[in-house]
């Protein structure tokens, strides 16, 4: 697993409860490129791993920008990044990965963001501005505008203290070449899903920044997990989580959200079939890969390329 060592070169307030972090290579070398909409993991003390969208311009390789909102009821990662991380400190990150890309071939992009959920759209907008693409960013906020200095010119602000605007009116009708996107709290994503329920398949996509609850699988069955490269195997009871079993067999798999939304624990499968419960893999990708944090197996054996 490859980690990138960066240094926190600047940190500044960027909206209500938000700290904007500027990460750079310690020696000033260019950082790996990332796709619009990408995110990365920050590796924090005590083994904590947290995923954040890259909200800077993808064309700039001298720095990565990460916006962190303090979560009072969180697991401690945002508190550390607000209170414990100082300018000059080292930060280990993953390589960027993109599970929320701009739709290829789309001619108009409609972004619906809720609060700090605006972050993936900032890199998308920068790329579209450079390419002359057509888009609009609707930013719904309640406690103040997040990241005001980074908002693109084609942003429409909606103060929701008096109620959320009707999403069909913001989205407009579906049509050829139109792609809709949403990132924000669960209530907004549910409203977006309802508003786009009648859209053509594939023309509306969402990114969660908190894993949705994963209910028990009533059809879960026992199976044997096999790691192809080592030959090790383990019998798992029905409903047992896959990721701890992989680690118990001695294989290393990166993980972050452990809820099927970030794409960190992607593994190639060789025999199954697996039960896919993630929110990131496309149908064609599921033919070869799975997300180990939430996957199961519909057959007697699940063989992984590990």
- The ranges of the chain annotated as CATH 2.40.30.10 are 4-93
Mean pLDDT for the stretch of residues 227-253: 94
Phi, psi (degrees; rounded to nearest 5) at 229: -75, -35
pLDDT band at residue 226 under the 50/70/90 scheme:
very high
Predicted local confidence at residue 262, as pLDDT: 86
What's the half-sphere exposure (Cβ side, CA atoms, 13 Å) at 267?
Answer: 32
% of the chain exceeding 70 in pLDDT: 99
Residue 63 confidence (pLDDT) above 90 = yes
Structure tokens belonging to residue 224? 């044997």
Structure tokens belonging to residue 96? 């960027």
pLDDT band at residue 259 under the 50/70/90 scheme:
confident
pLDDT band at residue 76 under the 50/70/90 scheme:
confident
What's the half-sphere exposure (Cβ side, CA atoms, 13 Å) at 70?
Answer: 14
pLDDT, tens digit (0-9, with 9 covering 90-100), for 155-202 = 999 999 999 999 999 999 999 999 999 999 999 999 999 999 999 999
Q: How far is 193 from 261, CA to CA, in rounded Å?
A: 16
CA 279 to chain CA mean position, Å: 10
Predicted local confidence at residue 128, as pLDDT: 98
Structure tokens belonging to residue 173? 């009708």
Mean pLDDT for the stretch of residues 207-223: 87
- The ranges of the chain annotated as CATH 3.10.20.30 are 223-304
- The ranges of the chain annotated as CATH 3.40.50.80 are 108-207
Beta-strand pair 90-93/39-43: antiparallel
Predicted local confidence at residue 153, as pLDDT: 93
pLDDT, tens digit (0-9, with 9 covering 90-100), for 261-290 = 888 899 999 999 999 999 889 889 999 999
Q: How far is 303 from 227, CA to CA, in rounded Å?
A: 6
Residue 210 confidence (pLDDT) above 80 = no
Predicted local confidence at residue 1, as pLDDT: 56
The mean predicted confidence, pLDDT, of the chain is 94
Q: Under a CB-based contact definition with an 8 Å cutoff, are residues 256 and 41 in contact?
A: yes
Q: Indicate the helix (H) or strand (E) that contains 274.
A: strand 274-275
CATH ID of 108-207, from 1.20.1300.10, 1.10.8.60, 3.40.50.80, 3.40.50.720 = 3.40.50.80
CATH superfamily of 4-93: Translation factors (2.40.30.10)
Q: Give the CATH number of domain 223-304.
A: 3.10.20.30
Rounded alpha-carbon distances, angstroms, from residue 120 to 69, 123, 249, 295: 14, 6, 36, 26
% of the chain exceeding 90 in pLDDT: 86
pLDDT band at residue 55 under the 50/70/90 scheme:
very high
Lowest mean pLDDT among 70-79, 100-109, 112-121, 123-132: 70-79
Q: Under a CB-based contact definition with an 8 Å cutoff, are residues 106 and 177 in contact?
A: yes
């Amino acid at each position: 697993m490859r980690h990138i060592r960066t240094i926190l070169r600047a940190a500044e307030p960027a909206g209500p409860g938000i700290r904007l972090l500027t990460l750079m290579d310690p020696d000033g070398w260019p950082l790996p490129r990332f796709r619009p909409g990408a995110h990365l993991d920050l590796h924090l003390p005590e083994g904590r791993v947290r995923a954040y969208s890259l909200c800077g311009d993808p064309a700039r390789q001298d720095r990565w920008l990460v916006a962190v909102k303090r979560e009072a009821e969180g697991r401690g990662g945002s508190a550390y990044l607000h209170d414990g991380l100082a300018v000059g400190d080292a930060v280990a990150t993953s390589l960027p990965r993109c599970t929320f890309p701009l739709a290829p071939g789309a001619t108009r992009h409609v972004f619906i963001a809720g609060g700090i959920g605006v972050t993936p759209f900032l890199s998308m907008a920068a790329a579209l501005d450079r390419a002359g693409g057509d888009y609009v960013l609707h930013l719904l906020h309640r406690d103040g505008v997040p990241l005001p200095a980074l908002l693109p010119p084609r942003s429409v602000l909606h103060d929701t203290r008096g109620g959320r605007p009707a999403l069909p009116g913001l989205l407009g009708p579906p049509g050829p070449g139109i792609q809709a996107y949403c990132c924000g709290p669960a209530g907004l994503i549910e409203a977006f899903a309802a508003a786009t329920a009648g859209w053509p398949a594939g023309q509306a996509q969402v990114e969660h920044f908190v894993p949705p609850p994963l209910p028990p699988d009533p059809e879960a069955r026992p199976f044997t997990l096999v790691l192809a490269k080592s030959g090790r195997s383990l019998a798992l009871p029905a409903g047992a989580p896959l990721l701890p079993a992989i680690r118990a067999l001695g294989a290393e798999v990166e993980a972050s959200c452990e809820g099927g939304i970030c794409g960190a624990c992607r593994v190639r499968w060789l025999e199954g079939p697996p039960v896919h419960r993630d929110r990131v893999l496309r149908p064609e990708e599921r033919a070869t890969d799975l997300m180990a944090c939430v996957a199961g197996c519909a057959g007697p054996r699940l063989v992984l390329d590990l």
